[in-house]
């Protein structure tokens, strides 16, 4: 018996064994979302989807997702027996005042959702339960409620959402509520909830009854009064804080550890103008801070002021010299949108992965050696016109946004570890040659200009190993230059 026959025998032994087939199928689909845009396509794939049991989907984190955007499709979905194949449903049936929601008896509708694990509902203030309490099925572990695009006000009240929150599914793990939602009654969160995505003021958050020993990283307190900070002290489940504009400008003293609890790990502050109070003094920020964003603040930062735990820093108004010791080595993402000073060697942390300097021109000088750390994976310097020849290899880069395509070439020649590369540019001073970049499988080219850029593909010598090419605002002519192995070619602006 030859080797081919042995392989075929093994194949059929596996194929006929339902248990092994199930293990293989679940392994291949584990942690995946399979998207469907219409009910008809779900019905067409009935035979394949029906092989996945409810237990298979739940235990292996497999989601069969259907997006519904109109009332007719929603009614068809409710009445079809194939709805049980879907366990991840997104409903965007917007009632902009025309009365569409009156077509649904939501008590009956929710009883038809017993097969769902994930549910996302787009809600408008016109949606009503007519005073009847709603009960979502206990099968739902992930509930996301969004507000309709027709709702533009900051504060948002919904009778429908209030009724849903009265009795949440007892197996719920994740809950997302629209920002600005007004909560008028007590909401008891099930003990199974591990995260709540919701940004609101303390007069709404204080109505939530949270299980003990919980921390919700996605929940953020919007501070508009001193009372909110007082209330925050005892709420250990909140670790993210936004200090809103109108109140931030009234603070007339330096931040200190008595104002914000040390457990706060994400802080965002909005100012309406350059602030007169010193934020950046030693021990002025929470000691566990990991993400810090400040708008319209332009004061110098001293060495060792920022916490050693900081990973993400966004300062939209900062434009002062950066010296060694100012930025902690733990920093992985830095965004200084108006910074335009000379970038000196070794001032950026050696673990930095994302760097965005929108206004940076380096005082008209070329970048110095060791001014950019080799750890970078994403670099955004759209206003810098100088050379990168002295910077050194940036082997890990996968996202690159520069002024001209010619600047990109000198960096790309030293990229060796990225299989996927995104390039954004504003000027095509010369072509680009990627012939030596045999590791690149997926290339994304984005021309940032008003009109579409028409180029001969001879100006773009593509990687011979390229599998997928995506362009935005670029028309590549003479496709004979595209490698034979590139079977996925997409123009984003055609979508």
CA distance 342 to 126: 55
Quote the pLDDT of residue 105: 75
In this structure, of 7-21, 53-67, 213-227, the range with the lowest mean pLDDT score is 7-21
In this structure, of 63-77, 181-195, 259-273, the range with the lowest mean pLDDT score is 259-273
Beta bridge partners of 392: none
Residue 407 has pLDDT above 50, yes or no: yes
Around Cβ 52, how many Cβ atoms within 10 Å? Answer: 19
Segment 39-58 shows an average pLDDT of 87
- Is the dihedral angle over the CA atoms 134, 138, 149, 98 positive or is it negative? negative
CA distance 295 to 110: 43
Residue 202 has pLDDT above 80, yes or no: yes
Q: Which residues of 135-173 are buried (b: 16+ CB within 10 A; e: fewer)?
A: bbbebbbbbbbbbbeebeeeebebbbbbbbbeebbeebe
Q: How many percent of the chain have pLDDT more than 90?
A: 38
Segment 75-97 shows an average pLDDT of 81
Beta bridge partners of 240: 220, 266
- DSSP-assigned letters across all residues of 380-444: EETT--S--TTT---TT--EEEESBHHHHHHHHTT--S-SEEEEEESB-SS-EE-TT-TT--EEE
CA distance 143 to 138: 11
Closest to 288 in 3D by CA, of 335, 240, 242, 243: 240
Residue 328 has pLDDT above 80, yes or no: yes
Quote the pLDDT of residue 253: 47
Q: Which residues of 103-112 are buried (b: 16+ CB within 10 A; e: fewer)?
A: ebebeeebee
Quote the pLDDT of residue 98: 43
Around Cβ 20, how many Cβ atoms within 10 Å? Answer: 12
Quote the pLDDT of residue 232: 93
CA distance 450 to 54: 49
- DSSP-assigned letters across all residues of 33-70: EEEES-HHHHHHTHHHHTTS-HHHHHHHT-EEEEEE-S
Predicted TM-score of the model (pTM): 0.84
- The 8 Å CB, 24+ separation contacts for 245-250 are 245/270, 245/271, 245/272, 246/272, 247/223, 248/275, 249/273, 249/275
CA distance 32 to 130: 38
Closest to 423 in 3D by CA, of 432, 231, 22: 432
Beta bridge partners of 145: 121
Segment 222-239 shows an average pLDDT of 90
Around Cβ 449, how many Cβ atoms within 10 Å? Answer: 13
pLDDT digits (tens, 9 = 90+) for 300-325: 888 888 999 999 999 988 999 999 99
Residue 75 has pLDDT above 90, yes or no: no
380 vs 278, residue with greater confidence: 380
Quote the pLDDT of residue 151: 60
According to DSSP, the β-strands at 88-91 and 474-477 are unpaired
Q: What is the mean pLDDT of the chain?
A: 84
pLDDT digits (tens, 9 = 90+) for 375-397: 999 999 999 988 888 888 888 88
3-state secondary structure of 100: helix
Q: Tell me the range of 37-46, 81-90, 188-197, 237-246 where mean pLDDT is highest.
A: 188-197
Residue 204 has pLDDT above 50, yes or no: yes
Domains in the chain: boundaries: 31-193
Q: Which two tokens stand for residue 384?
A: 């810098």
Q: How far is residue 150 from each of residues 5, 126, 180, 472, measured CA to CA in Å?
A: 64, 11, 14, 30
Residue 415 has pLDDT above 50, yes or no: yes
Around Cβ 290, how many Cβ atoms within 10 Å? Answer: 19
Which regions of 215-326 does DSSP assign to beta strands (E)? 216-223, 238-243, 266-270, 291-295, 312-315
pLDDT digits (tens, 9 = 90+) for 109-139: 888 888 899 999 988 777 777 667 788 999 9
Quote the pLDDT of residue 279: 65
């Amino acid at each position: 018996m030859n080797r081919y026959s042995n392989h075929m025998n093994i194949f059929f032994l596996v194929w006929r064994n339902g248990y092994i087939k199930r293990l293989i199928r679940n392994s291949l689909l584990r942690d995946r979302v399979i998207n469907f845009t219409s009910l008809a396509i779900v019905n067409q794939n009935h035979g394949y989807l029906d092989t996945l049991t409810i237990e298979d989907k739940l235990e292996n984190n497999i989601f069969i997702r259907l997006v519904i955007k109109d009332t007719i499709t929603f009614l068809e979905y409710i009445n079809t027996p194939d709805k049980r194949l879907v366990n991840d449903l997104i409903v965007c049936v917007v009632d902009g005042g025309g009365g569409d929601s009156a077509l649904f008896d939501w008590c009956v509708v929710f009883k038809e959702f017993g097969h769902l694990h994930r549910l996302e509902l787009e809600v408008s203030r016109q949606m009503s339960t007519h005073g009847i309490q709603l009960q979502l099925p206990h099968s739902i572990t992930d509930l996301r409620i969004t507000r309709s695009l027709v709702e533009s006000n900051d504060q948002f009240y919904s009778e429908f959402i209030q009724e849903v929150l009265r009795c949440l599914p007892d197996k719920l793990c994740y809950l997302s509520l629209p920002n600005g939602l007004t909560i008028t009654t007590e909401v008891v969160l099930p003990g199974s909830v591990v995260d709540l995505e919701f940004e609101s003021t303390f007069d709404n958050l204080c109505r939530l009854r949270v299980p003990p020993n919980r921390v919700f990283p996605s929940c953020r307190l919007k501070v508009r009064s001193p009372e909110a900070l007082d209330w925050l002290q005892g709420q250990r489940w909140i670790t993210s804080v936004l200090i809103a504009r109108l109140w931030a400008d009234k603070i007339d003293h330096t931040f200190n550890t008595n104002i914000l609890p040390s457990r706060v790990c994400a802080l965002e502050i909005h100012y309406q103008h350059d602030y007169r109070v010193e934020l950046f003094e030693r021990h002025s920020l929470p000691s566990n801070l990991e993400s810090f964003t400040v708008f319209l603040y332009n004061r110098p930062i001293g060495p060792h002021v920022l916490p050693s735990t900081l990973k993400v820093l966004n300062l939209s108004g900062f434009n002062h010299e950066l010296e060694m010791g100012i930025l902690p080595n733990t920093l992985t993402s830095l965004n200084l949108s108006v910074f335009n000073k000379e970038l000196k060697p070794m001032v950026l942390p050696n673990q930095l992965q994302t760097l965005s300097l929108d206004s940076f021109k380096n005082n008209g000088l070329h970048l110095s050696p060791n001014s950019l750390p080799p750890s970078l994976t994403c670099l955004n310097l759209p206003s810098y016109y100088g050379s990168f020849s002295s910077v050194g290899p940036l082997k890990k880069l996968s996202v690159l946004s520069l002024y001209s395509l010619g600047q990109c070439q000198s960096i790309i020649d030293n990229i060796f570890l990225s299989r996927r590369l995104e390039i954004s540019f504003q000027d095509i001073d010369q072509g680009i040659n990627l012939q030596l970049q045999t590791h690149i499988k997926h290339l994304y080219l984005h021309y940032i200009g008003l009109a579409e850029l028409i180029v001969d593909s001879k100006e773009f010598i593509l990687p011979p190993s390229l599998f997928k090419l995506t362009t935005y605002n670029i028309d590549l002519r003479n496709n004979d230059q595209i490698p034979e192995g590139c079977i996925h070619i997409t123009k984003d602006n055609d979508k």
